[in-house]
């Protein structure tokens, strides 16, 4: 690959030069063609779109567009978020850490996978992905909870990674967040906000080609459907046929139609569908040997790239938003999700590495699964005034039902693989026998109340609380036995914010979270939910007349009721385990000068076991490095002879991580360098992205000793998009 790199780079430069010639002097100027702005009514958890000012506004002034103009002055800065409060609130006035990654960053970095965009948020790391099949994230030492438009993405939805072509922005709320989002881990919430219809005609057709036979076509269409403009649509579609450096051939078909009807000045209806058909192999990656990763080529694939997993995911969302009065609004939404997984051919999975540290025992199996969920949300937002004090009161109800039917059948252990020898491998094929089959219906109910109290422009208070109940009995379909699981919890929230100056905020908060735990103790008592408690203090600042935003936070999180071995009967568990995480995070995002954008992050994460009967107290939690950070900067000429041309570069650093709770092995730290060249003018958008420019050899995610996902070597990705 290193020998071919100069030729690849030269070819990519040619891809940039050719569009420039095609655009010519007669092409429309950048100011004449804008990327779409999201002006339709938002889904739950989506902020009202923000108009882009011609000059940088003072803090708290006009809002930014979610999709900004394609000019050299496009900024990474976003001043508002609704994820932290479920109301449209300036980030500077929110007493909790929240970061927003806008569409512009996704495009500049060529982030085909959402994981690449989330590297721009402090404390977020990839925790597991089956070498590219799905994406699970670690945030502040614990698994992060993921949502789409403020609706929970259940664990099964995480098995199909989100489609970046349909994402308008990513909002990351840090710390326990159960008051607004119900069942959630104490680390925080990652909320993917999807694209919405536009009030003017828009069309974009894009094509991306990259190393290892990566090919991807995208379509983005939008506009009004009526002359009055009260009915609008948007359609995003993707077809991807791609290989990767491990020889895994994958195919993805995605489409998402959205329709918004403004039935009256006070009533808006939104209907959205997302459909994924994702075919890609189950790849466990590289095993650990001794205290490190096996010293073998990271491209070696033991499990057969032809053994595809077929996943079909469909989400249907409907939302009604009605304004009863100037200060009273109701949002009612519902979502249905269906996920089906099948294996046209049995998969191969590791069982254990034998004592010789080279013989990997594997089994052959099949796990079809069908999972469905239905969620209903109702939010009432009231903005009263008591004397000189302003309130934003949120009252909400949430109902959910989730069913999980899964059967695991196995052909048993099929033999051993010598990991130091390349394929093919001879494996025995035994009869396929059912090992487990279960059905789990989960019913949940939550009611919550929150008040954002503004005593003045300088002093603000957030008070909230939520009560949840969950029932999730598990039925063993082979034996007929039922394992009950029930829980209820009250989660409070308190946040204080003081602004010593209009552009500076000092904040502190306390939050709690809960997550259901399945199973029973030796006495048959169902386990209670796992609880999380978090404390955070920090400071936020608008710099350079509001063009640059900085956030500094110190936090401590404790996770209790963690399952650990029962000392009187080690084959059972009790809930006395405790894990904690504390650290410091810093994020800075925005525009230094017109056309010059920057994102810089740093995270110190001390996550460890504080009480346990199974693992040693003091052991570090897996997948969370002690140190990590990133720096990305891009520049596009806003005018002059180089108008439309741009360049970007960045470095992403991840420290060494333990791969399991026993701390038996380490995934080494790494530094990855990326770069990009752009030409964006008029109707033409072209880019070349160079990823892992220095060809670093690294492990991107470590889920266990047998599941370690290597990162891709140096790759080149070229994109050409035309917009009408």
Q: How many CB atoms lie within 10 A of CB 265?
A: 8
| Strands, E assignment, 385-481 | 385-386, 389-418, 433-454, 459-471, 474-476
- Strand 188-194 and strand 145-148: the pairing is parallel
- Contact (Cβ atoms closer than 8 angstroms) between residue 152 and residue 45: no
Distance CA 460, CA 456 (A): 7
Angle at 509 between CA 507 and CA 515, to 5 degrees: 145
d(CA 130, CA 670): 20
For residue 719 the two structure tokens come to 């994109």
Q: Which residues face 590 on adjacent strands?
A: 548, 598
Q: Is 350 helix (H, G, I), strand (E, B) or coil?
A: strand
Beta strands per DSSP E along 519-595: 530-543, 548-566, 569-593
Contact 145, 188 (CB under 8 A): yes
According to the model, what pLDDT value does residue 593 have? Answer: 93
Do 89 and 507 contact (CB within 8 A), yes or no? no
Strands (E), 96-185: 98-102, 124-128, 136-139, 142-143, 145-148, 151-152, 167-174
Which tokens in the block code for residue 129? 């992905």
**Confidence at residue 131, expressed as pLDDT on a 0 to 100 scale:** 65
Q: Which two tokens stand for residue 28?
A: 């429309």
Confirm if 285 and 131 have CB atoms less than 8 A apart.
yes
Peptide bond into 424 cis (omega under 30): yes
Q: For the chain, what are the domain ranges?
A: 5-723
Domain 5-723 belongs to what topology? Maltoporin; Chain A (2.40.170)
Distance spanning both ends of the chain, measured CA to CA: 37
Cα dihedral sign for 235, 241, 243, 249?
positive
Inter-CA distances, 442 with 126, 157, 399, Å = 27, 15, 11
C-alpha span between 218 and 503 (Å, rounded): 40
Reduce the DSSP state of residue 116 to 3 states and report it. helix
Mean pLDDT, the chain cut into blocks of 10 residues (724 residues total): 40 40 36 38 37 34 37 73 88 96 96 95 92 86 92 76 95 92 89 95 97 97 95 98 91 97 96 95 91 95 82 96 96 95 86 94 90 94 94 96 90 92 89 89 94 96 95 86 84 96 97 82 78 96 94 96 79 84 97 95 97 93 96 93 94 96 95 96 94 97 92 97 94
For residues 143 and 515, the answer to whether their CB atoms sit within 8 Å is no
Instruction: Spell out the SS3 assignment of 5-20.
Output: HHHHHHHHHHHHHHHH
- List C-alpha distances in Å: 526 to 242, 281, 520, 576: 46, 37, 4, 14
Close Cβ partners of 382 (under 8 Å, ≥ 6 residues apart): 327, 328, 391, 392, 393, 395
DSSP one-letter code for 92: G
**Structure-token pair, residue 233:** 């649509």
CB 455 within 8 A of CB 463: no
Least Cα distance to 160 among 239, 253, 76, 27 occurs for 253
**Euclidean distance between CA atoms 608 and 494, whole angstroms:** 26
Q: Are 519 and 573 in contact (CB under 8 A)?
A: yes
DSSP strands (E only) in 225-368: 231-242, 250-264, 267-281, 288-289, 292-293, 308-325, 328-342, 347-353, 359-366
Q: Are 147 and 181 in contact (CB under 8 A)?
A: yes
For residue 146, count other CB atoms closer than 10 A to its CB.
21
| Nearest partner of 144 among 166, 112, 164, 122, judged by Cα | 122
DSSP string, 673-686: EEEEEEEEETTEEE
This prediction has a pTM of 0.89
Q: Which residues pair with 512 in a beta bridge?
A: 533
Place of tokens 């100037």: 326
Helix (H) or strand (E) holding 221: strand 214-224
């Amino acid at each position: 690959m290193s020998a071919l790199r100069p030729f690849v780079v030269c070819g990519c430069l040619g891809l940039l030069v050719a569009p420039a010639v095609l655009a010519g002097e007669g092409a429309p100027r950048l100011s004449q063609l804008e990327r779409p702005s999201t002006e339709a009514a938002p889904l739950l958890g989506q902020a009202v779109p923000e108009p882009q000012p011609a000059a940088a506004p003072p803090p708290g002034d006009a809002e930014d567009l979610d999709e900004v103009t394609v000019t050299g002055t496009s900024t990474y800065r976003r001043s508002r978020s609704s994820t932290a409060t479920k109301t449209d609130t300036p980030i500077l006035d929110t007493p909790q850490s929240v970061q927003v990654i806008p569409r512009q960053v996704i495009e500049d970095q060529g982030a085909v996978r959402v994981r690449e965009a989330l590297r721009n948020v402090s404390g977020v790391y990839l925790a597991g992905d089956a070498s590219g099949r799905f994406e699970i994230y670690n945030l502040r030492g614990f698994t992060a909870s993921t949502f789409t438009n403020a609706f929970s993405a259940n664990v099964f939805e995480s098995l199909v990674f989100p489609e970046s072509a349909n994402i308008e922005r990513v909002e990351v709320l840090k710390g326990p967040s159960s008051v607004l989002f119900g069942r959630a881990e104490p680390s925080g919430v990652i909320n993917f906000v999807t694209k919405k219809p536009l009030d003017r005609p828009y069309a974009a057709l894009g094509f991306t080609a990259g190393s290892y036979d990566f090919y991807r076509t995208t379509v983005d269409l939008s506009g009004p459907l009526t002359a009055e403009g009260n009915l609008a649509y948007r359609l995003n579609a993707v077809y991807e046929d791609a290989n990767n450096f491990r020889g895994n051939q994958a195919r993805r078909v995605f489409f998402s139609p959205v329709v918004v009807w403004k039935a009256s000045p006070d009533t808006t209806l939104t209907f959205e569908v997302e459909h994924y058909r994702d075919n890609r192999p189950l790849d466990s990656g590289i095993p650990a040997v001794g205290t490190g990763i096996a010293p073998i080529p990271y491209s070696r694939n033991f499990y057969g790239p032809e053994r595809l997993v077929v996943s079909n995911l469909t989400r249907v969302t409907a939302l009604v938003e009605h304004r009863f009065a100037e200060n009273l609004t109701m949002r009612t939404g519902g979502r249905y999700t269906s996920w089906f997984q099948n294996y046209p051919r049995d998969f191969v999975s590791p069982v254990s590495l034998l004592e010789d540290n080279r013989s990997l025992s594997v089994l052959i199996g099949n796990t079809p699964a069908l999972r469905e969920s239905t969620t209903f949300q109702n939010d009432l937002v009231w903005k009263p005034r008591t004397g000189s004090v302003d309130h934003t009161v949120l009252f909400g109800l949430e109902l959910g039902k989730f069913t999980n039917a899964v059967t695991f059948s196995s052909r048993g252990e099929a033999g051993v693989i010598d990991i130091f020898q390349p394929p093919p491998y001879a494996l025995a094929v035994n009869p396929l026998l059912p090992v487990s089959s279960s059905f789990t219906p989960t019913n949940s109910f939550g009611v919550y109340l929150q008040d954002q109290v503004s005593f003045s422009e300088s002093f603000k208070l957030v008070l909230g609380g939520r009560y949840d109940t969950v029932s999730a009995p598990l039925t063993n379909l082979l034996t007929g036995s039922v394992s009950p699981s029930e829980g209820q919890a009250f989660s409070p929230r308190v946040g204080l914010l003081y602004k010593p100056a209009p552009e500076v905020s000092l904040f502190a908060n306390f939050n709690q979270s809960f997550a259901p735990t399945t199973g029973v103790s030796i006495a048959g008592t169902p386990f209670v939910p796992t609880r999380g408690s978090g404390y955070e203090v920090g400071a936020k600042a608008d710099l350079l007349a509001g063009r640059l935003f900085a956030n500094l936070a110190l936090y401590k999180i404790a996770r209790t009721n963690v399952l650990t071995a029962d000392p009187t009967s080690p084959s059972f568990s009790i809930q006395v385990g405790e894990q904690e995480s504390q650290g410091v995070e810093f994020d800075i995002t925005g525009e230094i000068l017109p056309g010059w954008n920057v994102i810089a992050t740093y995270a110190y994460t001390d996550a460890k076991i504080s009480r346990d009967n199974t693992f040693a107290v003091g052991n570090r939690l897996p997948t969370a490095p002690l140190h990590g950070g990133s720096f990305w900067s891009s520049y596009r000429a806003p005018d002059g002879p180089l108008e439309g041309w741009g360049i970007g570069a960045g470095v992403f650093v991840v420290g060494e991580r333990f791969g399991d709770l026993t701390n038996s092995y380490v995934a080494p730290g790494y530094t990855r360098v990326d770069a990009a060249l752009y030409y964006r003018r008029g109707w033409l958008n072209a880019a070349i992205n160079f990823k892992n420019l220095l060809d670093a050899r690294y492990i991107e995610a470590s889920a266990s000793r047998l599941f370690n996902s290597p990162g891709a070597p140096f790759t080149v990705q070229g994109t050409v998009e035309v917009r009408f």
